Amino acid sequence: MNTPSAHHPKLTVQDYLTGEAHSELRHEYIDGQVYAMGGASDRHGLITNALAFALTSQAREKKCQLFIADMKVRLEIGGKDIFYYPDLLLSCDATDRASHYRQNPCLIIEVLSDGTERIDRREKMLAYQTLPSLQEYVLVAQDYAQIEIYRRRADWLPEIHTEGEFTVECLKLTTTVAEVYQDVEA
């Protein structure tokens, strides 16, 4: 994942968004450069689906929008435009409705893999924390049961769950670690 496309000049945001709308592959965008996204494993997909299933009813009730993998989050850091594809993105801001990205999510979830863990833990975590709307950033292990929740109200210190219940505060939703991993443990 995140291999730069071969020696292309900087793309404008508009050219990136136009190209992405017609591309079979997804690309993340960092200051004019695009990076191809790799495919996900079955475990990754099952965990992402379980999380989406657990969150959907409450998201609808609160008039929030929940996206799996194909909605970009747009950031502007130090005058640079950045677009990432989180595994799950929740926006409860009724004014945050651009057709191809969101800028004001309250929750972002990344399911970790060997190819993405370092980027998700460092680069993306630091970038996402610059979003004033973001209340929770969640990292979910793919190969073992562990959910790490980083909350703005707790100064982004980790809250680690390997069993029992955990709460997604921006939805006021409590679920269990076992429910998230149910399909991969079978």
For residue 8, the model assigns a pLDDT of 64
For residue 2, the model assigns a pLDDT of 46
**Ranges of the chain with pLDDT below 70:** 1-8, 186
- Give the separation between CA 59 and CA 183, rounded to whole angstroms: 22
For residue 9, the model assigns a pLDDT of 80
Return the CATH architecture of domain 40-71+85-185. Answer: Alpha-Beta Complex (3.90)
Nearest to 83 by CA among 120, 127, 149: 127
Nearest to 135 by CA among 159, 157, 163, 156: 156
Q: 10-37 pLDDT, tens per residue?
A: 999 999 999 999 888 889 999 999 998 8
Q: Give the residue extent of every domain in the chain.
A: 40-71+85-185
For residue 75, the model assigns a pLDDT of 98
For residue 1, the model assigns a pLDDT of 44
The rounded radius of gyration (Å) of the Cα atoms in the chain is 16
Beta-bridge mates of residue 82: 30, 75
The pTM of the full predicted model, rounded to 2 decimals, is 0.90
